[in-house]
Amino acid sequence: MFQDSPKLPNSQSHQSPYKARFNVRYLSWGLAIAVVSVVAGGIVSFRWFSEKLLLDLQDNLLGVAELQATQIDQWLLERKGDARVLASRPTTIDALKAFATNDPNSAIVQQQQASLNQFALDVQTSYDYRRIVFFNRQGQVAWQTGVQNPLPKAINAAFGDEDHLTSLGGEVRLIDLSLLKVSNQDLPVYGVLAYIYDEQNNLIGAVYLEKDPQNFLYSLLDRAANASATAETLLVRREGNNIRYLNPLRFASDPPLRLSRSLDQDSLLATQAILQSRRLVRGTDYRNIPVVGASFETTQAPWTVIYKVNLREANAPIRQLAIAISGLSGLLIGVVFWVGYQMLRLQRFKLEAIAREAEIEKAQIRAASASRYLTAIETAIDGYAVLDDRGYFLEVNVALGEMTGYDCDELLQRSIFDLLITDNLDPAQLLTEWGDRRRLKLYQQWRHKKGQIREMQLSLTTDLSADQSRFFIFVQDITQQKQANAALGESEQRLYRAIQDAPFPILLYASDGEILQLNRTWTALTGYDITEIPTIAAWAAKAYGEAYLTALQGIEKVYEIQNSTHDGEYAILIKDGDQRIWDFSSAPLGTLPDGRKLQITMAMDVTDRKANELALQAAKKQAEEANRAKSLFLANMSHELRTPLNGILGYTQILMFDESLSTEQKSSLKIIEQCGHHLLSLIADVLDFSKIEAQRLELIPTAVQFHYFILDIIQTCQIKATEKQLLLNYDIDPDIPDYLLVDDQRLRQVLLNLLGNAIKFTHQGSVVLDVQLSQPPQTPPKSPKHHWHRVHFAVRDTGCGIDPENHQKIFLPFEQVGDRRSRPHGTGLGLAISQKLVAMMGGELQLTSYPNKGSCFSFDLELSEVLVSPPLVADDQATRDHLQIIGYVGRRQTILIVDSRWVNRSVIKHFLMPLGFKILEAENGKDGLMVAEAHPVDLIISEMVMPRMDGQAMAHQIRQLEKFRTIPIFAMSGDVLDHGWHNINSDFDAFLEKPLDFSNLLEMLQTHLHLTWVYEGDR
């Protein structure tokens, strides 16, 4: 239907006029930047080089002036040295003495004159002095070399004052430059005058060495002046308000010392050098010509050396530099402009060529545009057609045929009204309306060739430029879109009903606070409908009362969430005034068509659940209080039971040492001791179980010599086994390492309990403890020195066994199985404690038992091997522990016992006093503090629980006293649950558990008091 069109010209290969103008603009900017860069570079270069030249000039001027001033000073110092040497020569001193005391015509005077003449002429000739003059004490000429010329006036001033002469010492004075009238000529001279003293340091005269400045001084100054055409060295001095020029001037005919200038001339170079003490000076010279120079003052004479050049000569290199840089910059700017001009010409030629090409391309583009339009219509997914003024199709594309089911030829035989579904249609009227509207959008139903009804959207444009009206239409099939919209509407309706009928409160609202939907549950639970709370602010005001502003701030944060969040639980007020607790959660639901964010908030009424939680917390608190009461009861019971046991077992141990008792009496005491220890073990079981339940029992692993550890346990149980005529054996794996890391106290407690039960319930046969490695050792990579071993423990017996239904019951606290009449005495806590201790050590206590066949209790533990040094051989003192101690070596030690119970103090007192200790007693911590301050004390044993002041408070106050900072203090208590070793502060050095174990007490006394025991066998 539509023909293919030619391809578009490749316009991208040609530069557009706009781009060309754009390039010209950038070229102009580039030329301007280049010119500015050249000028800036020239200025920067000129400034840098000019500053460099100025610095070089200043260094040169300063160097010359300083060098000449230094040379003058050095030369004057040498002349003064000549004068000192001449004044100190014996020849000079002898001659002046002879001149002063003898007749001038005497022989001695003639001889001295001859010697002095020879000596002075040598000095004059060697150092080119003009003359040498010797003066007597009165300043009269005693003798001189050369011509008899007048002397400088400064010499007369040197001898004018008698007091002045006596204070001169050995001074050498400079006789400054002055003019002498000789043969009607003014000769410039200067010299040095040195005073002459005899051996008694009396002034006897002076010597004057006169110098012609032409010989050295003026020639020195002239040498530097030859460095340039205008260079000149000036030697000046200040004379009152005038400046005197001392040397011949290069550019003036005035002789030396004749030219002077006033200091009032501020621009004068010499004025600036003298008055302002400036090293670098700039001004005018004696000719009023601008000059620049450097000045230095001599230290040996009141002279100032000025080295200067004309300012024009000084600036000559800078002017030459400026000319060179300006010429070079001008040349570079010319080159830049020439290059720019050539580029502009080239660009203009390109613009003309582009304009010609543009005209050609315009024609090609118009043709290509029409071709692209036809191609786009033909390949478009929307239908396109051209209708005549009667509604018949003049042109159609393939897409329109696919929408209607007709091919293009079939459509060209039909009109649009053949497809349109409508009643009472007037085609002529409809075409007229279309022509009047020019552009409009229509929604129509067309019938597909197969009879289906399709929803169409038409965009119609009327063309009135031709002889007959034509209509251009673009057609979109929106059947699926309308079906999707209908499905979406049904889905939204279902969602609305789901929210409305949900069994929990739901709220839909926009980000501006408008509530869009409240479900029935929300209204039913709160009593508010959407007319009463149309906004979030209205809901917050009703639900949160006076705190609604704070609640509203929290609600507004929900607008920023990106994912579903749990907002938390809040107490709200409902319409009838009741308070409810709701648990809120929120989530974003996207954006509304008007741009507002849509949020959903769901809630759960957790009032009843919170009430249950509060009840549960109250019950838990009550249970915790009951548990604390139980722990307090156990602690008090332990303390109250251990206190009398301390007296019973303590005095039993004391009486056992009495050798006067009969065997029957000792046997009775042994029974008392066994009953006491049995009662003590029952208390220990109850306390251990209470500690485990309260999670206050801690394991303390130590390095244990394992084979001896097992052997010690077997020996402990051997007595009871022998009493029942049972065979007690043990089998330990020889590969088990010597030292393992384990809490030996708790492992001993478990094994003793299992072995004790086995012996109790076995009436004949044997009891065996089996300890084996259950798997090969493993070496964790991070601990190369520690090897881990799984050790299997098993206690087997041939006793009565346990019924299977009692296997779990036997591990319950306070439970005992079997015939009540045959049950052994005990609390029923042993296995319960053992099971929990094994679990704390990382194992599980297991039971295998059958009635009348015996039982086996077993467990596995992961134990770490440790490398320790072998124990030292015990000394002779340690091997004698079995002997009875009767005293100790050294002075008598004083021990203070602080306990509110008299019986506890009495037991310790009666045990320690026979050993030589002095015992002091106190009933409470306050009394104990007073006794300790009043008496010298070596050690303190204090009960923890006492009235008025307990043991910890007393120990803390004692430690604050300087003399008690290092005294050993032992804590003692029967309440091992709350006042055990791990619950006391650092003021104590050791802990004693009631009832007291006297052997343990003796070991602690030996350690902390550094005692050496005296045994019965030592006497």
In the predicted structure, residue 3 carries a pLDDT above the cut 80:
no
In the predicted structure, residue 781 carries a pLDDT above the cut 50:
no
Q: Which residue has the higher pLDDT, 438 or 768?
A: 768
Q: What is the mean pLDDT of residues 904-923?
A: 89
Per-residue model confidence (pLDDT) at position 44: 80
Using only C-alpha atoms, the chain has a radius of gyration, in whole angstroms, of 64
Per-residue model confidence (pLDDT) at position 627: 66
Banded model confidence at residue 702, pLDDT cuts 50, 70, 90: confident
Per-residue model confidence (pLDDT) at position 1000: 87
Per-residue model confidence (pLDDT) at position 977: 54
In the predicted structure, residue 1019 carries a pLDDT above the cut 80:
no
How far apart are the C-alpha atoms of 766 and 724, rounded to whole Å?
Answer: 10
Q: Which residue has the higher pLDDT, 184 or 815?
A: 184
Q: Yes or no: say if 83 and 193 are a contact pair by the CB < 8 Å rule.
A: yes
In the predicted structure, residue 816 carries a pLDDT above the cut 70:
no
In the predicted structure, residue 869 carries a pLDDT above the cut 60:
no
Q: What percent of the chain has pLDDT over 70?
A: 85
Task: Determine how many CB atoms are found less than 10 A away from the CB of residue 1017.
Answer: 9
In the predicted structure, residue 952 carries a pLDDT above the cut 60:
yes
- Which pair of tokens denotes residue 288? 């009023």
pLDDT digits (tens, 9 = 90+) for 21-54: 666 677 778 778 878 887 888 788 777 877 777 7
Beta-strand runs (E) in 834-950: 846-850, 854-865, 885-888, 894-898, 918-922, 939-943
Q: Mention every residue, 6+ apart, whose C-beta is less than 8 A from residue 316.
A: none
Per-residue model confidence (pLDDT) at position 921: 93
Banded model confidence at residue 858, pLDDT cuts 50, 70, 90: very high
Banded model confidence at residue 827, pLDDT cuts 50, 70, 90: low
Q: Mention every residue, 6+ apart, whose C-beta is less than 8 A from residue 864.
A: 740, 741, 786, 787, 788, 789
- Residue 490 DSSP symbol: H
Per-residue model confidence (pLDDT) at position 892: 93
Per-residue model confidence (pLDDT) at position 821: 46
Alpha carbon of residue 75 to chain centroid: 69
Q: What is the mean pLDDT of residues 480-487?
A: 85
pLDDT digits (tens, 9 = 90+) for 565-598: 888 888 888 888 888 999 998 989 888 888 888 8
In the predicted structure, residue 834 carries a pLDDT above the cut 50:
yes
In the predicted structure, residue 785 carries a pLDDT above the cut 50:
no
Average pLDDT, the chain: 81
Q: Which residue has the higher pLDDT, 934 or 774?
A: 934
Q: Which residue has the higher pLDDT, 1011 or 827?
A: 1011
pLDDT digits (tens, 9 = 90+) for 215-253: 888 888 888 777 778 889 999 999 889 999 999 988 888
Highest mean pLDDT among 57-66, 738-747, 896-905, 1002-1011: 1002-1011
pLDDT digits (tens, 9 = 90+) for 899-909: 988 888 888 88
Cis peptide before 505 (omega within 30 of 0): no
How far apart are the C-alpha atoms of 946 and 639, rounded to whole Å?
Answer: 12
Per-residue model confidence (pLDDT) at position 303: 92
In the predicted structure, residue 826 carries a pLDDT above the cut 50:
yes
User: What's the pTM?
Assistant: 0.37
In the predicted structure, residue 820 carries a pLDDT above the cut 70:
no
- Which pair of tokens denotes residue 686? 């109850």
How far apart are the C-alpha atoms of 346 and 350, rounded to whole Å?
Answer: 6
Residue with tokens 């604050």: 960
Q: Yes or no: say if 935 and 963 are a contact pair by the CB < 8 Å rule.
A: no
Q: What is the 3-state secondary structure (H, E, C) of 534-562?
A: CEHHHHHHHHHHHHHHHHHHHHHHHHHCC
Per-residue model confidence (pLDDT) at position 11: 43
Q: What is the mean pLDDT of residues 645-672?
A: 72
Banded model confidence at residue 638, pLDDT cuts 50, 70, 90: low
- Residue 982 DSSP symbol: G
Q: What is the mean pLDDT of residues 277-304?
A: 88
Closest C-alpha among 904, 913, 1005, 894 to residue 951: 904
Q: What is the mean pLDDT of residues 112-133?
A: 86
In the predicted structure, residue 871 carries a pLDDT above the cut 90:
no
In the predicted structure, residue 105 carries a pLDDT above the cut 70:
yes
Q: Which of 387-391, 679-683, 950-954 comes out lowest in average pLDDT? A: 679-683
Per-residue model confidence (pLDDT) at position 590: 85
